[in-house]
A and B are shown apart, each in its own frame.
Chain A
Amino acid sequence: MSAGVGGLAGAGNRIITRGFDGRWDELEGMELPDAAAVLVRDNHEAARAVWAAATGDTEVLVASRTRVTPDLADDLRSAGLAIVDGEEVTAPSTERAATAGRVWLLTSGSTGRPKQVAHTLASLTTVAGDQPRRTWLCPYAQGAYAWWQVVTLSIAHPGQDVLFIEPDELDTWPARALEVGVTAASGTPTFWRQALYRDPESVAALPLEQVTLGGEPVDQAILTRLTEMFPKARVSWIYASSEAGATIAVHDGRAGFPEQWLGREADGRATLTVDDGELLIASPKRGEGIDRVLRTGDRVEVVDGRVLITGRIASDEINVGGAKASASAVRDVLQAHPAVAWASVRGRKAPIVGSIVTAEVVLSGDATDAELTAWCAARLPDYSVPRRVRFLDQIPIKETLKSDV
């Protein structure tokens, strides 16, 4: 048995997927090769693969079928994994002994083809100690780090039931969550923004005790909105990645984390430092083979004693005639406007100045292009004020629950 820190103490927890409603240990068995990449069609199949791996000596990668391109499948086969796609099993192109208990994750692939990062159920199980009884909503893509966080929590701790949501249920999940009795929900800021934009009344009706955000920079506007909507809930944001693991958890309802946390060393906790505006993490929960001190590629800024994680360094900077505009700073200003439900900011190639700042916006109230420009002009240097604003009818959301990746 390849159990996590809590073992399989959650075997009796209820999990609900489309097509299954029962306990982990009631899932139908799945025959897996010793080392397998399981391409899953839905969360039911994904849960079966997880349970088969957790109760066997299998090395496993679980990924949504839509994520694994033929090139990636070839990479996985040459890395020694058989490809399991429904009934079809394709042997690995490299023979090697399996490593029992290893769990592979794919990185988000924002900087090219997804890479594989090695974990174990134990390294993915980041929650320890007694947990209050909860029913979780898990809308994340199968096999993503955040998905594994909810899955390992449920496997390792009694009283942690899970309702899994498929990508095509993202518009309708609140009704299902209410019916099932969800009391804790985890999603990206884009996921929450979309939910509050589409159906705020149904979301507000949920008896949530825990609201968690992660996977994207978490800004104050969305934290405030959720805190006001769920005054009795703990609203937390988590910083996690396949490479670093879950390293930062903040529960005070505020964006960023306290500056005093920088440089702090403690057993079992990540050490956080900043170098040239980039967040560096030494994490005990990192994947195997990942640098002890990982350069995250995420930009941070210290404002009023809080360390704010603003966005990816590689995509954040917009050079406007030599002046450096920050896409994330502009996005945060737009998203703080009371009539803006969601915003995305990019540079666009332009004559004379090289690039100018442009924005896509989804409104939840009334605002004109001119009003948004004036709002930004009052809060940002002139080169950062979006010069072109495009209004969209709905919040774009990808299977990763993110907008930009």
Chain B
Amino acid sequence: MTGEVRHTIATSVIGAVMPARAQMASTLGFHIILACFGTAFPAIVLLAEFIGLRRHDETAMRLARRWSQVMGVLVAVGAVTGTVLSFEMGLLWPGLMREYGAVLGLPFGVEGIFFFLEAIFTAIYLYGWQRVPGWAHWASGLPIALSGIFGAMSVVAVNGWMNQPGGFTERAGRIVAVHPWQVFFNHAAAYEMPHMILAAYMVTGFTVAGVYATGILRGRRDRYHSYGFAVAFVPAALLTPLQLLVGDSAARAISHDQPVKFAAMEYVTNSSKHVPEWLGGVMLNGHIYGGIKIPDLDSLLVGFSSKARVTGLTSVAPADRPPVAWLIHLCFDAMIGLGTVLLLLGLWAGYEWWRRRRLPLHRVFWFVGAASGVAAICAMEAGWVVTEVGRQPWVVYRLQTTAQAATTSGGVTTSLSFVIVLYAVLGTATILVLRALARRWHLRDRDEPVVPYAPRTGPPTEEAAA
């Protein structure tokens, strides 16, 4: 399709495209945080329960129990915000579904199975705490953790397919044949799936750890808080170096698969060799203001040689370039920068453990630890901005523009306004509910403190008190 035709289509529905994109961005940006918890939190809760059962450790058991209560709230909110996204696929992007629903629907169907398993076993796990005996209860949580991972793979498969569409044959504007395996395991899925699943574990681990780091900063240096921090922090910190490796190879793959997106990520204007790496900086009208320029580094990163050729933005017509390159680049830098900080934080803790068998005592560690959850969430959101804005103007890379996919039904500005208000209320309510839970627990623990490293005698305090 020529640029002109696309331009006409774009202007005819331009009214819907921007609000539709804004709505998709805000609802997805909100849901993805809950989706991270849905994917990774069960595993962390199970880890705590495992330690509790294995070592007869009351603190770990109490954490597992309380975390599963948090999980119950987050899963419920995640279930409904996920439903919003399912509806929006049709309500905002009927053009996409009309043309490619038969292709990208399949991974969603697979995801549906895991969503079922997740919902069913979450209920058994959450409401079985009293009557299901120890290890059987623990085992009832395993399907949640597994289906979280497989469900995430299925959904990311769809996003990967939009970046690297394939696995189907189109004749005269209609899909005539589909190859499900190629759709599911598309070229981008190889790096997007591990990248997102690791991100989910990092977001969840660092966020939970951040909560307890805040408590420790406030002087609650007890076993309960150190445990809460460690059980969540250790898996997240262990996965962080892996994430940086996966991210690095993902960026290299994108430089081949979607060179224009990569050019926006790295401020490559003209295709050339000896391409410098820009750290920060704002690109306006082709000029880069501010930022640090490191000669040849981008070529080195892409092709392991300063002579490696990198494709630039000018290789395609202006209409085919992603808008707001500065946003894409700065988000890319933010993601990597925050990831690096999280890596250093994990190394610090690892060093301290190696030398002194304890967590760092320095306040800076706990300040950064308290902020690590927010940092991980910001990094993940920035990554989504890079991949989604970087794909524009396409919704299905080089096959369908976002403007062609957008709804012609009208009223998107209205729904966008409502969604922003509704989600603001929903987000606030979720945080307030969780804070109220934490306050309740804190009050109870203050009355009946968990004695550090004391052997457990008799029934647990709470039951005795009751």
A and B form one complex:
no
